[in-house]
Structure 1
Amino acid sequence: MAQAQLQQDIEELNQLLKQAKRKRVQDLLSLEIRKLETDIINLKEAEKSQIEIAPSTSSSTIKKRYQIKLNGYGWDQSDKYIKVFVTLKNVQSIPKEQVYCKLTDRSMELHVENLDNKDYLLSINKLLEPINVDECHWKQKTDMVVVFLAKSQPNVKWSHMTEIEKKSQDQRNNRFKPDDMEKKDPQESIMDLMKNMYDTGDDDMKRMITKAMYESQHKKRTDIPDFNDAM
């Protein structure tokens, strides 16, 4: 889902890049596109990451197990629960004590131990709303674990799973507003985008934008004809 949203951002930026006239603005838009493309690559690599861990016993006859960090999951909600769905083939075949959660009021860790000689970990931090740890539970189903996170405030609808996802979506919504962009002059839309990039960018981005704005203003002043010389 996150990759698809980043790809949509890149497409919007490419449209603005085609409309931009000044090289400095084109460079800034190209830089932002490259940053988003890097974010997509990092997400893909994170999904494939596997970390080797030491065996739980010193016996040389025991094979090493590997911990696999899970990133993909589905979720749904009812009035009382946030339901997290984690797909793991044959997870129903292992003992219940090998499937457990570590919970706080704003985070969850699902641990699945020794499933086909591998350990699995799903970690979700900074939940959008607090949960009631005492009322949470989980179930093993065929090829799936379902975690029931009890809402501290029943009947409150969650728009996102985590604070980070909501913040990211809000930033994208503020950065790209198609209706407004269609009504505005293309150059005005680019200036609004540059302001948003300045507000949310790092120090290097801010320096580049400040320099571009200064050069733009300086060019406008030097383009004004000197009427005294003409007379």
Structure 2
Amino acid sequence: MSGAKIIELRSDIDELNELLKQAKRKKVLDILSLEIRKLETELITLKESEKNEAAMDVSSTPTTSTQTQKRYQIKLNGYGWDQSDKYVKIFVTLKNVQNVPKEQVYCNLTERSMELHVDNLENKDYLLVINKLLNSINVEESHWKQKTDMVVIFLAKSQQNIKWSHMTELEKKFEDQRNNKFKTDDMEKKDPQEYIMSLMKNMYETGDDEMKRTISKAWYEGQQKNKSDTLDL
């Protein structure tokens, strides 16, 4: 069953990537990128679940002690980010995270990646992974803080005063591909907006709260811009 689900997710991601190359508006690009990242996280989780199930099949029956220590891990894919001249700041919302001991909230950092671990928050482990950061970071000068219902990670820029246009190389690559695609004459003949809007409607109806908020915000801002353009005329 999980094998079929993996194939389906892979197909969905590939199709979304094709749509991303055709999207014209930045808000549409952001929505599609968010959905792609969500599906990729789900795909990774499924693959790891398959590995864990295979390992359990060949292992002996766990003891009662092992069973009580087992916790469910949740892969996070939603976060906000901002930046200053010195830091890229990542905001991760987790209810009651302030109650977790400090040693159970930690980051594994490299020059081009970060992992946030929150262990045993109400008997669940949380993990946020961001690979292939757009630029390198200074691991020694980076740090993180627990706040009420939130963890803030401060990634120190290796090159200060350099503005990051995206969080990851992948996100920048998607936008560059889209921009290059629309420079061709062939794209002038295509109008993918109707299909994309239909996809966005379906994503809104089936998506989680974060996806619905993002789509609603994009729609509202688009309407406001259209009103502003009309007034200017």
TM-score by length of 1: 0.57
Deviation at 1:174, TM superposition (A): 1.4
**Corresponding residue number in structure 1 for 2:120:** 114
Contact 2:37 2:77 in 1 (8 A): no
1:82 and 2:85 are equivalent in the alignment: no
Aligned length: 156
**Equivalent of 2:107 in 101, 108, 128:** 101
**Corresponding residue number in structure 2 for 1:62:** 68
**Corresponding residue number in structure 2 for 1:17:** none
**Corresponding residue number in structure 2 for 1:28:** none
Contact 1:67 1:119 in 2 (8 A): yes
Higher relative CO (Cα under 8 Å, sequence separation at least 6) belongs to 2
Deviation per residue, 1:84-123 (Å, 9 max, x gap): 0001010001100000000000000000000011001100
**Secondary structure in structure 2 of the residue aligned to 1:154:** coil
**Equivalent of 1:126 in 126, 129, 132:** 132
Is the radius of gyration larger for structure 1 or structure 2? 1
In 2: Cα distance, 1:101 partner to 1:188 partner: 43
Deviation at 1:64, TM superposition (A): 2.6
Alignment of 1:9-48 (within 5 A): 43-46=37-40
TM-score by length of 2: 0.56
Amino acid at match of 1:110: L
**Corresponding residue number in structure 1 for 2:149:** 143
After superposition, the CA RMSD in angstroms is 3.6
Deviation at 1:189, TM superposition (A): 3.1
In 2: Cα distance, 1:46 partner to 1:88 partner: 21
Structure 1 128/174 Cα, relative in aligned 2: closer, same or farther at 3 Å? same
Structure 1 58/110 Cα, relative in aligned 2: closer, same or farther at 3 Å? farther
In 1: Cα distance, 2:38 partner to 2:110 partner: 28
Contact 1:6 1:40 in 2 (8 A): no
Structure 1 41/99 Cα, relative in aligned 2: closer, same or farther at 3 Å? closer
In 1: Cα distance, 2:130 partner to 2:187 partner: 40
